[in-house]
Amino acid sequence: MELTRQPLVALCVLLAVAIAGTANVATATEVEIQTTEDVSSYIVHVAPEHAPTLSRRGLLTNRAYGSFLRNHLPVELSLSNSDDQAPRVLYSYAHAATGFAARLTRRQAAHLASARSVLAVVPDVMQELHTTLSPSFLGLSSSSGLLPASNGASDVVIGVIDTGVYPVDRASFAADPSLPPPPRKFRGRCVSTPEFNGSAVCNGKIVGAKFFRTGSQALRGGRALGAKDSMSPLDTEGHGTHLASTAAGSASADASLFGYGEGRAVGVAPGARIAVYKACWHGCASSDVLAAFDEAIADGVDVISASLGTLKARKFYKDTTAVGAFNAVRKGIVVAASAGNSGPGESTVVNVAPWFLTVGASTINREFPADVILGNGETFRGTSLYAGQPLGAAKIPLVYGGDVGSNICEAGKLDPAMVTGKIVLCDPGVNGRTEKGYAVKLAGGAGAILGSEEAQGGQARSSAHILPVSAVTFADAEKIKKYLKAKASPVATIVFRGTVVGGSPPSPRMASFSSRGPSRLVTEILKPDVTAPGVDILAAWTGAASPSLLDGDTRRVPFNIMSGTSISCPQVSGIAALLRQAKPKWSPAAIKSALMTTAYNVDNAGGVISDMSTGKVSTPFARGAGHVDPNRAVDPGLVYDAGTEDYVTFLCALGYTPEQLAVFGSSANCSARTGASVGDLNYPAFSAVLGSDRRAVTQRRTVRNVGSNVRATYTAKITSPAGVLMTVKPRKLAFSATQEKQDYAITFAQLPSANVTVKHTFGSIVWSDGKHTVTSPIAITWPASQVADM
């Protein structure tokens, strides 16, 4: 059975959008219209007063919006000689948004956009998907701290919007007899299909499993999904299974991938329940994702974890995921979202709406080294998850892919006569890492060395290769090329070192791929919010796909090792679940504040967390407020709280029209909120722009005392960004039993003698009462015309 609605909130979703040829139709209501084909899918936001009435069970059928279409389209647009051009409702939304998704022609969409009862018409688009050690790296222990304080989050439901789940013979999703019954407030269920026995899957650990495919199928022109896709919540891709077990998987002894990362695998919130909403089918249609949000909210989840998002940040009222998350947060659901995997470029971060908990990715203290040893004795440390027959100590011929048919090692283009029995050096680009190794194997090669993109700096990526392969950094690949050119008969071998855990190199380090700020939409909101483990994380895997994701790879494994902000997101979703149970009265904003203000910025060697793309110190545009520290977050001292009205005021400050606000379900009058500044949103971080026409900026905040000492007094310590004179008023905040909130303001003023040589400078403000330290990062952006020597 396929469903069309329901809720939760810890959103870890990274989806990349490709829209070919869009045009704007100038009407009373803003609308984006795709022109690449006459019939396409659209999401129609309807004014609440014109929406059909919900049933007594809070449900809404597609038939109701079918009537809406018939009433709002003239006969000549409603009727068509072609069934393909007849308007057709795909989904009805009542919780994550008010409206519906439908197949419409361009003229039908334009006509609806002009109707007074319609707020916006937005094209449906495809988005793409962006642990034995990570819980201990996070400091989680069953004997002390947040884990026992929250009882493992046994009363919390985490909704995972992704590719589904593979529960068959997976210890991570096994029923745990020590768990109490599932929370009665949760109203979801597991649907059943011929391929998915819902009654068996819903075992107390998994409490919900639903799927949404209508939007994806419509965007593919009605063509059937892939032959290997299961028309059920069953995960045939692996991504969703990995994420769900990372967030809340039960303990599993002796977990590993071919011996790599061996140990006890357990989710961050091992007692939490999992509700699965399968909305991604080799990409995620926005209409399916919004339907999953709708259903999760209706089901009553506590956290939504969605590792997906658009390729570039979109205006919030056009971003259906941001709209769905807004309405989830309105219901008290925490939404954790991935920052994106488009780093290290500037302003690549997505999911930047302030109601998201946006997560970057960083390393843990574990590596899988694979040394490349050249004939001249030079050794380059790479990385690999290869587990077959090793090459051995004897060195064999080494060739460059560009000299034997394909520099990027594309399948079918390498010359077997020149590759057989040799190691091939491959450039990055076009095809995936495991595909390069497979291409070398098909051509008879004995092994491969994969170079990385130059922008990735000191990071190479591990993969479960099917022949001996080591991935090395761009700089090391260039050195290997020089050796190849200098020697008439170059040789090499690869030595696999297994799993190495330790303090060198330091950890955490920011992953090169993790998307960076500043936000291209709202500079005043510093994103990402935090970073968490997202590099080489072991978790459960589907039995329907190989660990390499190659069709020619017949291996099947219960666990796999993956990297990405989509992997770090469920880590934070799990922590949010623990905090939700430990602090049930905290709002989503308070939970985010606790995680941000208690995050740390120093690695295990005592230095500031470094950036793998540069080898230098990272900035808040990479790491946000810092690396999450769950045990400190349970007692943050102060929190920066915010709710629906605060976010509406923020949208008013952005200049949103009444129609755009109504997309979020708000009927607020922005004229009554004049004087509000975007930078005054009560956010646990500060970001501002200074320049010749803006010499000073003041931002205001309110903090609430949640510590045990109701009479605490906090004193501010400031570290001013370069080129800035920073003042705080007042410098002390005194709380009492009747005064749990206090206001303060920070003014950032450009120093007259400022000679700034970079585009961004950074600082911090720390409030302390002697027991707690409440830290907020500060980012100042300087216009290019102000930057000296650039």
Is residue 368 within 8 Å of 385, Cβ to Cβ? yes
- Residue 80's pLDDT band, with cuts at 50, 70 and 90, is low
pLDDT over 60 (residue 18): no
Which of 72-86, 169-183, 442-456 ranks highest by mean pLDDT?
Answer: 442-456
The percentage of residues in the chain with a pLDDT greater than 90, rounded to a whole number, is 81
In degrees, rounded to 5, the angle at the alpha carbon of residue 239 between the alpha carbons of residues 316 and 153 is 80
User: Does residue 328 or residue 28 have the better pLDDT?
Assistant: 328
CA distance 632 to 773: 10
CA distance 665 to 129: 28
pLDDT over 70 (residue 447): yes
Minimum mean pLDDT range among 56-65, 116-125, 617-626? 56-65
- Residue 23's pLDDT band, with cuts at 50, 70 and 90, is very low
Is residue 38 within 8 Å of 85, Cβ to Cβ? yes
CA distance 96 to 296: 9
Q: If we measure between CA atoms, which residue out of 293, 283, 391, 271 comes closest to residue 337?
A: 293
DSSP 8-state class, residue 153: G
pLDDT digits (tens, 9 = 90+) for 473-482: 999 999 999 9
CB count in 10 Å sphere of residue 635: 18
pLDDT over 60 (residue 730): yes
Q: If we measure between CA atoms, which residue out of 670, 655, 595, 664 comes closest to residue 330?
A: 664
**What pLDDT does 714 receive?**
98
**What pLDDT does 17 receive?**
34
pLDDT over 50 (residue 790): no
CA distance 499 to 317: 46
**What pLDDT does 515 receive?**
97
**Structure-block tokens of residue 156:** 């919390």
**Structure-block tokens of residue 483:** 């050796």
The DSSP-derived string for 176-200 is: -TTSPPPPTT----B--BTTB-HHH
Q: If we measure between CA atoms, which residue out of 32, 8, 10, 6 comes closest to residue 93?
A: 6
C-alpha distances out from residue 651 to 379, 485, 664, Å = 55, 59, 10
- Residue 53's pLDDT band, with cuts at 50, 70 and 90, is confident
Is residue 425 within 8 Å of 480, Cβ to Cβ? yes
Minimum mean pLDDT range among 59-73, 200-214, 288-302, 507-521? 59-73
The dihedral region occupied by 282, where left means phi > 0, alpha psi between -120 and 50, and beta the remainder, is left
Question: Mapping DSSP to helix (H, G, I), strand (E, B) and coil, where does residue 71 land?
Answer: helix
pLDDT digits (tens, 9 = 90+) for 231-270: 999 999 999 999 999 999 999 999 999 999 999 999 999 9
Mean pLDDT of 16-24: 34
**What pLDDT does 577 receive?**
98
User: Does residue 532 or residue 57 have the better pLDDT?
Assistant: 532
**What pLDDT does 546 receive?**
97
Catalytic site residues? Answer: 162, 239, 566
- Residue 54's pLDDT band, with cuts at 50, 70 and 90, is confident
CA distance 588 to 640: 11
CB count in 10 Å sphere of residue 483: 18
CA distance 166 to 538: 16
**What pLDDT does 32 receive?**
46
User: Does residue 10 or residue 752 have the better pLDDT?
Assistant: 752
**What pLDDT does 610 receive?**
98
The percentage of residues in the chain with a pLDDT greater than 70, rounded to a whole number, is 92
CA distance 378 to 517: 38
**What pLDDT does 135 receive?**
85
Secondary element (H or E) of residue 471:
strand 469-471
pLDDT digits (tens, 9 = 90+) for 635-671: 999 999 999 999 999 999 999 999 999 999 999 999 8
- Residue 154's pLDDT band, with cuts at 50, 70 and 90, is very high
CA distance 761 to 775: 17
pLDDT over 60 (residue 28): no
Mean pLDDT of 666-690: 93
CA distance 170 to 733: 51
CA distance 361 to 567: 8
Mean pLDDT of 38-65: 83
Question: Mapping DSSP to helix (H, G, I), strand (E, B) and coil, where does residue 324 land?
Answer: helix
**Structure-block tokens of residue 742:** 């206090």
Secondary element (H or E) of residue 103:
strand 99-105
CB count in 10 Å sphere of residue 277: 35
The dihedral region occupied by 395, where left means phi > 0, alpha psi between -120 and 50, and beta the remainder, is beta
Query: Average pLDDT of the chain?
Result: 91
Q: Is 323 exposed, middle or buried (0-12, 13-18, 19+ CB in 10 A)?
A: buried
Secondary element (H or E) of residue 652:
helix 644-653
CA distance 187 to 59: 13
Question: Beta 713-719 vs 760-768: how paired, if at all?
Answer: antiparallel
pLDDT over 60 (residue 24): no
pLDDT over 80 (residue 175): yes
pLDDT digits (tens, 9 = 90+) for 538-573: 999 999 999 999 999 999 999 999 999 999 999 999
**What pLDDT does 79 receive?**
65
